[in-house]
Chain A
Amino acid sequence: MATPLYSIPSANLATPATPATHTNATLAASLVAAGAALSHDDAVAQGPRSVGEVLSQSQVEAVMDELDRDLVGLAPVKSRIRDIAALLVIDKLRGAHGLHAQSPSLHMCFTGNPGTGKTTVALRMAQILHRLGYVRKGHVVSVTRDDLVGQYIGHTAPKTKEVLKKAMGGVLFIDEAYYLYRPENERDYGQEAIEILLQVMENQRDDLVVILAGYADRMDTFFQSNPGMSSRIAHHLDFPDYGVPELLHISEAMLGQSGYHFGHGAREAFEQYLQRRQAQPHFANARSVRNALDRARLRQASRLFADREREWSALELSTIAEADIRASRVFASAA
Protein backbone atom coordinates (compact mmCIF):
# COMPACT_ATOMS: atom_id res chain seq x y z
CA MET A 1 0.00 0.00 0.00
CA ALA A 2 2.91 2.35 0.71
CA THR A 3 4.84 1.70 -2.50
CA PRO A 4 2.91 2.17 -5.75
CA LEU A 5 3.61 -0.15 -8.67
CA TYR A 6 4.13 2.68 -11.15
CA SER A 7 6.58 5.56 -11.37
CA ILE A 8 5.68 9.21 -11.18
CA PRO A 9 7.78 11.51 -13.34
CA SER A 10 6.99 14.59 -11.27
CA ALA A 11 8.33 12.90 -8.16
CA ASN A 12 11.72 12.66 -9.85
CA LEU A 13 11.59 16.29 -10.88
CA ALA A 14 10.89 17.39 -7.34
CA THR A 15 14.09 15.83 -6.01
CA PRO A 16 16.77 16.08 -8.67
CA ALA A 17 19.54 14.81 -6.42
CA THR A 18 18.01 11.38 -5.80
CA PRO A 19 17.66 10.06 -9.38
CA ALA A 20 21.16 11.31 -10.19
CA THR A 21 22.75 9.25 -7.44
CA HIS A 22 20.46 6.40 -8.35
CA THR A 23 21.63 6.36 -11.98
CA ASN A 24 25.21 6.61 -10.74
CA ALA A 25 24.68 3.51 -8.65
CA THR A 26 23.07 1.51 -11.48
CA LEU A 27 25.75 2.72 -13.84
CA ALA A 28 28.48 1.56 -11.49
CA ALA A 29 26.77 -1.80 -11.19
CA SER A 30 26.55 -2.23 -14.95
CA LEU A 31 30.21 -1.23 -15.28
CA VAL A 32 31.24 -3.88 -12.79
CA ALA A 33 29.01 -6.48 -14.40
CA ALA A 34 29.95 -5.94 -18.01
CA GLY A 35 33.27 -4.17 -17.67
CA ALA A 36 32.05 -1.87 -20.37
CA ALA A 37 33.09 1.67 -21.10
CA LEU A 38 30.69 4.62 -20.85
CA SER A 39 28.42 4.27 -23.83
CA HIS A 40 26.46 7.17 -25.30
CA ASP A 41 23.21 5.91 -23.76
CA ASP A 42 24.71 6.05 -20.29
CA ALA A 43 25.75 9.65 -20.83
CA VAL A 44 22.20 10.55 -21.82
CA ALA A 45 20.77 8.77 -18.80
CA GLN A 46 23.10 10.75 -16.59
CA GLY A 47 22.05 14.09 -18.02
CA PRO A 48 24.01 16.70 -19.92
CA ARG A 49 27.73 17.22 -19.26
CA SER A 50 28.57 20.27 -21.34
CA VAL A 51 27.04 23.68 -21.90
CA GLY A 52 26.56 22.82 -25.56
CA GLU A 53 24.45 19.79 -24.68
CA VAL A 54 22.12 21.81 -22.49
CA LEU A 55 21.81 24.53 -25.10
CA SER A 56 21.04 22.05 -27.86
CA GLN A 57 18.44 20.33 -25.68
CA SER A 58 16.72 23.50 -24.55
CA GLN A 59 17.03 25.55 -27.77
CA VAL A 60 17.54 28.58 -25.58
CA GLU A 61 20.08 29.96 -28.04
CA ALA A 62 17.39 30.49 -30.63
CA VAL A 63 15.44 32.66 -28.20
CA MET A 64 18.55 34.58 -27.21
CA ASP A 65 19.45 35.24 -30.84
CA GLU A 66 15.91 36.34 -31.49
CA LEU A 67 16.18 38.67 -28.53
CA ASP A 68 19.39 40.15 -29.96
CA ARG A 69 17.89 40.50 -33.41
CA ASP A 70 14.44 41.84 -32.55
CA LEU A 71 15.22 44.13 -29.65
CA VAL A 72 17.30 47.16 -30.51
CA GLY A 73 19.72 48.53 -27.93
CA LEU A 74 19.05 47.54 -24.27
CA ALA A 75 22.62 46.30 -23.82
CA PRO A 76 22.56 46.09 -19.96
CA VAL A 77 19.25 44.19 -20.05
CA LYS A 78 20.49 41.69 -22.61
CA SER A 79 23.71 41.04 -20.72
CA ARG A 80 21.77 40.38 -17.50
CA ILE A 81 19.43 37.97 -19.30
CA ARG A 82 22.49 36.16 -20.67
CA ASP A 83 23.90 35.92 -17.14
CA ILE A 84 20.66 34.43 -15.83
CA ALA A 85 20.51 31.97 -18.70
CA ALA A 86 24.13 30.97 -18.06
CA LEU A 87 23.42 30.40 -14.37
CA LEU A 88 20.45 28.17 -15.17
CA VAL A 89 22.49 26.15 -17.66
CA ILE A 90 25.32 25.66 -15.17
CA ASP A 91 22.77 24.65 -12.52
CA LYS A 92 21.56 21.95 -14.89
CA LEU A 93 25.11 20.68 -15.33
CA ARG A 94 25.61 20.68 -11.56
CA GLY A 95 22.38 18.75 -11.17
CA ALA A 96 23.64 16.13 -13.63
CA HIS A 97 26.70 15.61 -11.40
CA GLY A 98 24.49 15.25 -8.35
CA LEU A 99 25.72 18.54 -6.97
CA HIS A 100 23.32 20.59 -4.96
CA ALA A 101 21.56 23.02 -7.29
CA GLN A 102 19.61 25.51 -5.26
CA SER A 103 16.87 26.99 -7.40
CA PRO A 104 17.76 30.65 -7.76
CA SER A 105 15.30 33.40 -7.02
CA LEU A 106 14.33 34.88 -10.34
CA HIS A 107 11.85 37.55 -9.34
CA MET A 108 12.66 40.67 -11.27
CA CYS A 109 11.93 44.34 -11.36
CA PHE A 110 12.00 46.24 -14.65
CA THR A 111 12.33 49.99 -14.32
CA GLY A 112 12.50 52.47 -17.15
CA ASN A 113 10.71 55.23 -18.97
CA PRO A 114 7.59 54.54 -21.03
CA GLY A 115 8.13 52.68 -24.27
CA THR A 116 11.53 51.21 -23.42
CA GLY A 117 10.42 47.62 -23.96
CA LYS A 118 9.65 46.39 -20.45
CA THR A 119 6.58 44.38 -21.46
CA THR A 120 8.24 42.98 -24.56
CA VAL A 121 11.22 41.75 -22.56
CA ALA A 122 8.92 40.23 -19.92
CA LEU A 123 7.23 38.15 -22.61
CA ARG A 124 10.62 37.00 -23.92
CA MET A 125 11.77 36.27 -20.39
CA ALA A 126 8.94 33.79 -19.95
CA GLN A 127 9.98 32.04 -23.15
CA ILE A 128 13.63 31.83 -22.09
CA LEU A 129 12.81 30.54 -18.60
CA HIS A 130 10.47 27.97 -20.11
CA ARG A 131 13.11 26.72 -22.56
CA LEU A 132 15.56 26.39 -19.69
CA GLY A 133 13.01 24.41 -17.74
CA TYR A 134 12.83 26.89 -14.90
CA VAL A 135 9.10 27.53 -15.30
CA ARG A 136 6.91 24.66 -16.39
CA LYS A 137 4.47 26.36 -18.76
CA GLY A 138 6.03 29.63 -19.85
CA HIS A 139 2.84 31.67 -20.14
CA VAL A 140 2.64 35.30 -19.01
CA VAL A 141 -0.19 36.64 -16.90
CA SER A 142 -0.11 40.41 -17.22
CA VAL A 143 -1.95 42.31 -14.50
CA THR A 144 -2.25 45.77 -13.02
CA ARG A 145 -3.49 47.04 -9.66
CA ASP A 146 -7.15 46.55 -10.59
CA ASP A 147 -6.66 42.81 -11.08
CA LEU A 148 -5.07 42.31 -7.67
CA VAL A 149 -6.69 44.78 -5.30
CA GLY A 150 -10.35 44.48 -4.35
CA GLN A 151 -12.90 47.14 -3.62
CA TYR A 152 -14.13 46.14 -0.20
CA ILE A 153 -12.93 44.24 2.85
CA GLY A 154 -12.38 40.56 2.08
CA HIS A 155 -12.33 41.11 -1.67
CA THR A 156 -8.58 41.48 -2.12
CA ALA A 157 -7.28 38.13 -0.86
CA PRO A 158 -9.39 35.90 -3.17
CA LYS A 159 -8.74 38.22 -6.09
CA THR A 160 -4.97 38.20 -5.62
CA LYS A 161 -4.91 34.46 -5.02
CA GLU A 162 -6.92 33.81 -8.16
CA VAL A 163 -4.41 35.77 -10.23
CA LEU A 164 -1.52 33.97 -8.55
CA LYS A 165 -3.10 30.59 -9.29
CA LYS A 166 -3.50 31.52 -12.93
CA ALA A 167 0.16 32.54 -13.10
CA MET A 168 1.47 29.30 -11.53
CA GLY A 169 3.93 27.59 -13.81
CA GLY A 170 4.60 30.82 -15.68
CA VAL A 171 5.41 34.47 -15.22
CA LEU A 172 3.28 37.01 -13.37
CA PHE A 173 3.90 40.43 -14.88
CA ILE A 174 2.67 43.32 -12.73
CA ASP A 175 2.63 46.51 -14.76
CA GLU A 176 2.80 49.85 -12.94
CA ALA A 177 3.50 47.94 -9.74
CA TYR A 178 3.99 51.08 -7.63
CA TYR A 179 0.21 51.67 -7.77
CA LEU A 180 -0.18 48.66 -5.47
CA TYR A 181 0.92 50.79 -2.54
CA ARG A 182 -0.94 54.00 -1.89
CA PRO A 183 0.71 55.75 1.06
CA GLU A 184 -1.89 58.54 1.17
CA ASN A 185 -4.63 56.09 2.18
CA GLU A 186 -3.66 53.95 5.15
CA ARG A 187 -6.73 51.75 4.80
CA ASP A 188 -5.91 50.94 1.20
CA TYR A 189 -6.23 47.25 0.34
CA GLY A 190 -3.05 47.32 -1.75
CA GLN A 191 -0.97 46.41 1.28
CA GLU A 192 -2.96 43.18 1.67
CA ALA A 193 -2.25 42.24 -1.94
CA ILE A 194 1.45 42.95 -1.42
CA GLU A 195 1.59 40.69 1.63
CA ILE A 196 -0.05 37.76 -0.18
CA LEU A 197 2.27 38.34 -3.11
CA LEU A 198 5.33 38.31 -0.84
CA GLN A 199 4.24 35.09 0.80
CA VAL A 200 3.82 33.27 -2.51
CA MET A 201 7.03 34.78 -3.94
CA GLU A 202 8.90 33.32 -1.00
CA ASN A 203 7.21 29.92 -0.63
CA GLN A 204 6.49 28.96 -4.25
CA ARG A 205 9.68 30.11 -5.90
CA ASP A 206 9.70 27.02 -8.11
CA ASP A 207 6.16 27.59 -9.30
CA LEU A 208 6.18 31.14 -10.56
CA VAL A 209 8.35 34.12 -11.38
CA VAL A 210 7.08 37.59 -10.54
CA ILE A 211 8.18 40.53 -12.66
CA LEU A 212 7.35 44.03 -11.49
CA ALA A 213 7.53 46.94 -13.89
CA GLY A 214 7.23 50.67 -13.51
CA TYR A 215 8.88 54.04 -13.83
CA ALA A 216 12.19 54.25 -11.97
CA ASP A 217 11.45 57.07 -9.52
CA ARG A 218 8.06 55.74 -8.46
CA MET A 219 9.38 52.21 -8.06
CA ASP A 220 12.10 53.56 -5.78
CA THR A 221 9.49 55.08 -3.46
CA PHE A 222 7.51 51.86 -3.67
CA PHE A 223 10.51 49.80 -2.55
CA GLN A 224 11.39 52.26 0.20
CA SER A 225 7.98 51.75 1.76
CA ASN A 226 8.07 47.97 1.12
CA PRO A 227 11.61 46.84 2.01
CA GLY A 228 10.46 43.21 2.13
CA MET A 229 9.51 43.39 -1.53
CA SER A 230 12.83 44.91 -2.56
CA SER A 231 14.90 42.26 -0.78
CA ARG A 232 12.91 39.42 -2.34
CA ILE A 233 13.62 40.63 -5.84
CA ALA A 234 17.02 39.47 -6.97
CA HIS A 235 17.23 41.26 -10.28
CA HIS A 236 16.65 44.96 -10.67
CA LEU A 237 16.96 45.76 -14.36
CA ASP A 238 17.02 49.35 -15.55
CA PHE A 239 15.88 49.98 -19.13
CA PRO A 240 17.79 52.92 -20.63
CA ASP A 241 16.19 55.42 -22.99
CA TYR A 242 16.79 54.88 -26.71
CA GLY A 243 19.05 57.16 -28.74
CA VAL A 244 17.95 58.54 -32.09
CA PRO A 245 19.84 55.93 -34.18
CA GLU A 246 18.21 53.14 -32.16
CA LEU A 247 14.78 54.72 -32.57
CA LEU A 248 15.35 54.96 -36.32
CA HIS A 249 16.29 51.29 -36.36
CA ILE A 250 13.11 50.48 -34.44
CA SER A 251 10.97 52.57 -36.79
CA GLU A 252 12.32 50.77 -39.83
CA ALA A 253 11.61 47.42 -38.18
CA MET A 254 8.05 48.54 -37.36
CA LEU A 255 7.44 49.72 -40.92
CA GLY A 256 8.88 46.50 -42.27
CA GLN A 257 6.52 44.45 -40.15
CA SER A 258 3.46 46.23 -41.54
CA GLY A 259 4.77 46.16 -45.11
CA TYR A 260 5.84 49.80 -45.52
CA HIS A 261 9.19 51.47 -46.11
CA PHE A 262 10.65 54.97 -46.09
CA GLY A 263 10.70 56.77 -49.44
CA HIS A 264 13.39 59.09 -50.75
CA GLY A 265 14.43 61.52 -48.02
CA ALA A 266 11.81 60.23 -45.60
CA ARG A 267 14.34 58.54 -43.36
CA GLU A 268 16.29 61.77 -42.89
CA ALA A 269 13.05 63.65 -42.27
CA PHE A 270 12.05 61.11 -39.63
CA GLU A 271 15.46 61.44 -37.98
CA GLN A 272 14.91 65.18 -37.69
CA TYR A 273 11.40 64.52 -36.45
CA LEU A 274 12.75 62.26 -33.70
CA GLN A 275 15.33 64.83 -32.63
CA ARG A 276 12.65 67.47 -32.24
CA ARG A 277 10.12 65.14 -30.70
CA GLN A 278 12.61 63.94 -28.07
CA ALA A 279 13.00 67.49 -26.78
CA GLN A 280 9.25 67.81 -26.29
CA PRO A 281 7.43 66.61 -23.18
CA HIS A 282 5.70 63.20 -22.99
CA PHE A 283 8.15 61.47 -25.27
CA ALA A 284 7.57 57.75 -24.86
CA ASN A 285 10.43 56.18 -26.83
CA ALA A 286 9.30 53.27 -29.01
CA ARG A 287 5.65 53.96 -28.30
CA SER A 288 5.97 57.52 -29.63
CA VAL A 289 7.69 56.13 -32.70
CA ARG A 290 4.79 53.77 -33.28
CA ASN A 291 2.27 56.60 -32.94
CA ALA A 292 4.24 58.87 -35.26
CA LEU A 293 4.42 56.14 -37.88
CA ASP A 294 0.69 55.47 -37.54
CA ARG A 295 -0.01 59.14 -38.19
CA ALA A 296 2.38 59.13 -41.17
CA ARG A 297 0.45 56.19 -42.59
CA LEU A 298 -2.78 58.13 -42.17
CA ARG A 299 -1.32 61.07 -44.06
CA GLN A 300 0.01 58.79 -46.77
CA ALA A 301 -3.43 57.23 -47.13
CA SER A 302 -5.20 60.55 -47.54
CA ARG A 303 -2.52 61.75 -49.95
CA LEU A 304 -3.18 58.75 -52.19
CA PHE A 305 -6.92 59.01 -51.61
CA ALA A 306 -6.98 62.56 -52.99
CA ASP A 307 -5.88 61.44 -56.44
CA ARG A 308 -8.92 59.49 -57.59
CA GLU A 309 -8.03 58.78 -61.21
CA ARG A 310 -4.47 57.52 -60.88
CA GLU A 311 -3.58 53.84 -60.69
CA TRP A 312 -1.20 53.19 -57.77
CA SER A 313 1.54 50.56 -57.91
CA ALA A 314 2.40 48.29 -55.00
CA LEU A 315 5.60 50.25 -54.47
CA GLU A 316 3.77 53.55 -54.20
CA LEU A 317 1.17 52.05 -51.87
CA SER A 318 3.85 50.91 -49.45
CA THR A 319 6.07 54.02 -49.50
CA ILE A 320 6.00 56.64 -46.76
CA ALA A 321 7.12 59.80 -48.55
CA GLU A 322 9.10 62.64 -47.07
CA ALA A 323 6.05 64.90 -47.30
CA ASP A 324 4.05 62.52 -45.09
CA ILE A 325 6.53 63.04 -42.29
CA ARG A 326 7.23 66.74 -42.88
CA ALA A 327 3.51 67.45 -42.45
CA SER A 328 3.78 66.61 -38.77
CA ARG A 329 2.83 69.17 -36.15
CA VAL A 330 6.31 68.86 -34.64
CA PHE A 331 7.81 70.57 -37.69
CA ALA A 332 5.07 73.20 -37.79
CA SER A 333 5.62 74.33 -34.22
CA ALA A 334 9.38 74.62 -34.73
CA ALA A 335 9.10 76.72 -37.88
Chain B
Amino acid sequence: MMTNPTGRMTQGQFSFLPDLTDDEILMQVQYGLNKGYAWSVEYTDDPHPRNTYWDMHGHPMFDLADAAGVMLELKACRQAFPRHYIRLMAFDSTRGVESVVMSFIVNRPPHEPGFQLERMEMDARNVRYTTRSYATHRPEGERYAD
Protein backbone atom coordinates (compact mmCIF):
# COMPACT_ATOMS: atom_id res chain seq x y z
CA MET B 1 0.00 0.00 0.00
CA MET B 2 1.21 3.47 -0.78
CA THR B 3 -0.54 5.37 2.02
CA ASN B 4 -0.02 2.89 4.84
CA PRO B 5 3.20 0.97 4.09
CA THR B 6 3.74 -0.51 7.55
CA GLY B 7 0.10 -0.89 8.50
CA ARG B 8 0.90 1.05 11.65
CA MET B 9 0.22 4.53 12.90
CA THR B 10 3.43 6.44 13.62
CA GLN B 11 3.14 9.06 16.35
CA GLY B 12 5.48 10.01 19.16
CA GLN B 13 8.72 8.30 20.08
CA PHE B 14 9.72 4.79 19.02
CA SER B 15 6.76 4.48 16.66
CA PHE B 16 8.91 3.24 13.76
CA LEU B 17 10.35 0.50 16.00
CA PRO B 18 8.71 -2.79 16.82
CA ASP B 19 6.32 -2.51 19.77
CA LEU B 20 8.15 -2.06 23.06
CA THR B 21 7.94 -4.96 25.46
CA ASP B 22 6.79 -4.32 29.02
CA ASP B 23 10.38 -4.47 30.24
CA GLU B 24 11.42 -1.87 27.70
CA ILE B 25 8.47 0.35 28.65
CA LEU B 26 9.48 -0.03 32.29
CA MET B 27 12.98 1.18 31.50
CA GLN B 28 11.75 4.20 29.57
CA VAL B 29 9.39 5.10 32.40
CA GLN B 30 12.14 4.73 34.98
CA TYR B 31 14.39 6.94 32.88
CA GLY B 32 11.71 9.62 32.93
CA LEU B 33 11.12 9.25 36.65
CA ASN B 34 14.84 9.62 37.30
CA LYS B 35 14.67 12.90 35.39
CA GLY B 36 11.76 14.01 37.58
CA TYR B 37 8.99 13.78 34.99
CA ALA B 38 5.36 13.06 35.88
CA TRP B 39 3.84 10.27 33.79
CA SER B 40 0.28 9.95 32.64
CA VAL B 41 -1.66 7.37 30.63
CA GLU B 42 -3.90 8.43 27.73
CA TYR B 43 -6.08 6.48 25.34
CA THR B 44 -8.10 7.12 22.19
CA ASP B 45 -9.67 5.31 19.26
CA ASP B 46 -9.30 8.24 16.86
CA PRO B 47 -5.88 7.92 15.23
CA HIS B 48 -6.04 11.21 13.26
CA PRO B 49 -2.70 13.06 13.52
CA ARG B 50 -4.45 16.27 14.54
CA ASN B 51 -6.17 14.52 17.44
CA THR B 52 -3.76 15.94 20.00
CA TYR B 53 -5.71 15.64 23.22
CA TRP B 54 -6.49 12.04 24.07
CA ASP B 55 -8.58 10.89 27.03
CA MET B 56 -6.66 10.58 30.25
CA HIS B 57 -6.85 7.33 32.20
CA GLY B 58 -6.62 8.11 35.91
CA HIS B 59 -4.74 11.10 37.22
CA PRO B 60 -1.32 12.31 36.16
CA MET B 61 1.17 10.60 38.44
CA PHE B 62 3.29 13.05 40.36
CA ASP B 63 5.87 12.18 43.05
CA LEU B 64 6.46 8.60 41.95
CA ALA B 65 9.78 6.93 42.68
CA ASP B 66 9.41 3.65 40.85
CA ALA B 67 8.09 2.70 37.43
CA ALA B 68 5.94 -0.09 38.87
CA GLY B 69 3.30 2.49 39.78
CA VAL B 70 3.00 3.68 36.18
CA MET B 71 2.87 0.10 34.95
CA LEU B 72 0.00 -0.53 37.38
CA GLU B 73 -2.01 2.28 35.77
CA LEU B 74 -1.06 1.11 32.28
CA LYS B 75 -2.21 -2.39 33.10
CA ALA B 76 -5.55 -1.06 34.31
CA CYS B 77 -5.95 0.98 31.11
CA ARG B 78 -5.08 -1.98 28.91
CA GLN B 79 -7.67 -4.03 30.72
CA ALA B 80 -10.33 -1.38 30.21
CA PHE B 81 -9.39 -0.54 26.57
CA PRO B 82 -7.59 -3.54 25.08
CA ARG B 83 -8.15 -2.43 21.46
CA HIS B 84 -7.53 1.30 21.81
CA TYR B 85 -4.41 3.31 21.21
CA ILE B 86 -2.74 3.91 24.58
CA ARG B 87 0.23 6.21 25.06
CA LEU B 88 2.40 7.21 27.98
CA MET B 89 3.32 10.86 28.36
CA ALA B 90 5.96 12.43 30.59
CA PHE B 91 5.45 15.98 31.77
CA ASP B 92 8.47 18.03 32.76
CA SER B 93 7.46 20.67 35.30
CA THR B 94 10.79 22.52 35.21
CA ARG B 95 10.15 26.24 35.02
CA GLY B 96 10.51 27.32 31.44
CA VAL B 97 9.89 23.81 30.08
CA GLU B 98 6.48 22.96 31.57
CA SER B 99 5.43 20.69 28.77
CA VAL B 100 5.28 17.10 27.63
CA VAL B 101 8.80 15.89 26.89
CA MET B 102 8.24 12.17 26.22
CA SER B 103 5.32 10.44 24.57
CA PHE B 104 5.07 6.99 23.05
CA ILE B 105 2.43 4.49 22.10
CA VAL B 106 2.28 1.37 24.24
CA ASN B 107 -0.88 -0.28 22.98
CA ARG B 108 -2.51 -0.36 19.52
CA PRO B 109 -5.43 -2.08 17.88
CA PRO B 110 -4.64 -5.41 16.21
CA HIS B 111 -5.52 -4.05 12.77
CA GLU B 112 -4.89 -0.48 11.67
CA PRO B 113 -6.50 0.23 8.32
CA GLY B 114 -4.75 3.55 7.72
CA PHE B 115 -5.95 6.82 6.20
CA GLN B 116 -7.78 7.92 3.12
CA LEU B 117 -6.59 11.01 1.25
CA GLU B 118 -9.64 12.99 0.16
CA ARG B 119 -9.45 15.60 -2.61
CA MET B 120 -12.00 18.37 -2.68
CA GLU B 121 -12.18 20.20 -6.01
CA MET B 122 -12.54 23.93 -5.47
CA ASP B 123 -13.08 26.76 -7.91
CA ALA B 124 -10.40 27.57 -10.50
CA ARG B 125 -8.93 24.06 -10.51
CA ASN B 126 -7.81 24.38 -6.87
CA VAL B 127 -7.77 21.17 -4.86
CA ARG B 128 -8.02 20.88 -1.08
CA TYR B 129 -6.70 17.79 0.62
CA THR B 130 -7.77 16.15 3.83
CA THR B 131 -7.10 12.80 5.50
CA ARG B 132 -9.63 10.61 7.18
CA SER B 133 -9.03 7.38 9.02
CA TYR B 134 -10.79 4.34 7.59
CA ALA B 135 -11.43 3.27 11.17
CA THR B 136 -13.46 6.30 12.18
CA HIS B 137 -16.56 5.69 10.08
CA ARG B 138 -17.98 3.95 13.12
CA PRO B 139 -18.91 5.88 16.28
CA GLU B 140 -16.52 6.31 19.15
CA GLY B 141 -16.07 3.19 21.25
CA GLU B 142 -17.11 0.85 18.43
CA ARG B 143 -14.06 1.34 16.22
CA TYR B 144 -11.53 -1.50 16.00
CA ALA B 145 -14.21 -3.82 17.45
CA ASP B 146 -12.99 -6.80 15.42
User: Which of A8, A161, A166 is the one whose CB lies under 8 Å from B65?
Assistant: A166
Asked whether A11 is an interface residue with its Cβ less than 8 Å from the other chain, the reply is: yes
Instruction: Determine, out of B19-27, B87-95, B106-114, the stretch whose residues face the partner at the interface.
Output: B19-27
**Would you give the 0/1 interface string for B68-80, flagging 1 where the beta carbon is closer than 8 Å to chain A?**
1110110000000
Contact partners of A162 in chain B: CB under 8 A? 59, 61
A-B contact count (CB 8 A): 58
Task: Give the shortest distance, in Å, between B63 (CB) and chain A (any CB).
Answer: 5
Contact partners of A166 in chain B: CB under 8 A? 63-65, 69
Task: Give the shortest distance, in Å, between A158 (CB) and chain B (any CB).
Answer: 7
Contact partners of A167 in chain B: CB under 8 A? 69
**Would you give the 0/1 interface string for B82-124, flagging 1 where the beta carbon is closer than 8 Å to chain A?**
0000000000000000000000000000000000000000000
Contact partners of A4 in chain B: CB under 8 A? 18, 21, 24
The answer to whether B66 touches A137, judged by C-beta atoms less than 8 angstroms apart, is yes
The answer to whether B72 touches A161, judged by C-beta atoms less than 8 angstroms apart, is yes
The answer to whether A8 touches B27, judged by C-beta atoms less than 8 angstroms apart, is yes
Task: Give the shortest distance, in Å, between A184 (CB) and chain B (any CB).
Answer: 31
The answer to whether B65 touches A169, judged by C-beta atoms less than 8 angstroms apart, is yes
A162 to B63, CA, bound (A): 10
User: Which of B64, B66, B70, B73 is the one whose CB lies under 8 Å from A136?
Assistant: B66
A8 to B27, CA, bound (A): 8
The answer to whether A8 touches B72, judged by C-beta atoms less than 8 angstroms apart, is no
The answer to whether A10 touches B68, judged by C-beta atoms less than 8 angstroms apart, is no
B73: nearest residue on chain A (CB-CB)?
A165
Asked whether B58 is an interface residue with its Cβ less than 8 Å from the other chain, the reply is: yes
A193 to B89, CA, bound (A): 28
Asked whether A139 is an interface residue with its Cβ less than 8 Å from the other chain, the reply is: yes
Asked whether A286 is an interface residue with its Cβ less than 8 Å from the other chain, the reply is: no
The answer to whether A168 touches B58, judged by C-beta atoms less than 8 angstroms apart, is no
The answer to whether A1 touches B72, judged by C-beta atoms less than 8 angstroms apart, is no
The answer to whether A158 touches B66, judged by C-beta atoms less than 8 angstroms apart, is no
Tally of A interface residues using CB under 8 Å: 23
A6: nearest residue on chain B (CB-CB)?
B24
A11 to B18, CA, bound (A): 18
Query: Which residues of chain B from 19 to 71 have a CB within 8 Å of any chain A CB?
Result: 21, 23-24, 26-27, 58-59, 61, 63-70
Contact partners of A8 in chain B: CB under 8 A? 21, 23-24, 27
The answer to whether A170 touches B58, judged by C-beta atoms less than 8 angstroms apart, is no
Task: Give the shortest distance, in Å, between B75 (CB) and chain A (any CB).
Answer: 10
A167 to B23, CA, bound (A): 20
The answer to whether A14 touches B65, judged by C-beta atoms less than 8 angstroms apart, is no
A139 to B64, CA, bound (A): 10
Asked whether A207 is an interface residue with its Cβ less than 8 Å from the other chain, the reply is: yes
Task: Give the shortest distance, in Å, between A169 (CB) and chain B (any CB).
Answer: 3
A4 to B67, CA, bound (A): 21
User: Which of A1, A14, A137, A165 is the one whose CB lies under 8 Å from B70?
Assistant: A165
Q: Tell whether A168 pairs with B68 under 8 Å between CB atoms, given A8-B24, A158-B58.
A: yes
**B contact set with A: CB distance below 8 Å:** 18, 21, 23-24, 26-27, 58-59, 61, 63-70, 72-73
Known interface pairs A8-B23, A162-B59; 17 further A-B residue pairs with C-beta atoms within 8 A, sorted by A's residue number:
A8-B24, A10-B26, A10-B27, A14-B23, A136-B66, A164-B72, A165-B64, A165-B69, A165-B72, A168-B65, A168-B66, A168-B67, A168-B72, A169-B67, A169-B68, A170-B65, A207-B66
Which A-B residue pairs are the 6 nearest by beta carbons?
A: A169-B66, A165-B69, A168-B68, A168-B69, A207-B68, A168-B66
- 5 example contacts (A-B, Cβ-Cβ < 8 A) are as follows A1-B18, A10-B23, A158-B58, A161-B72, A169-B68
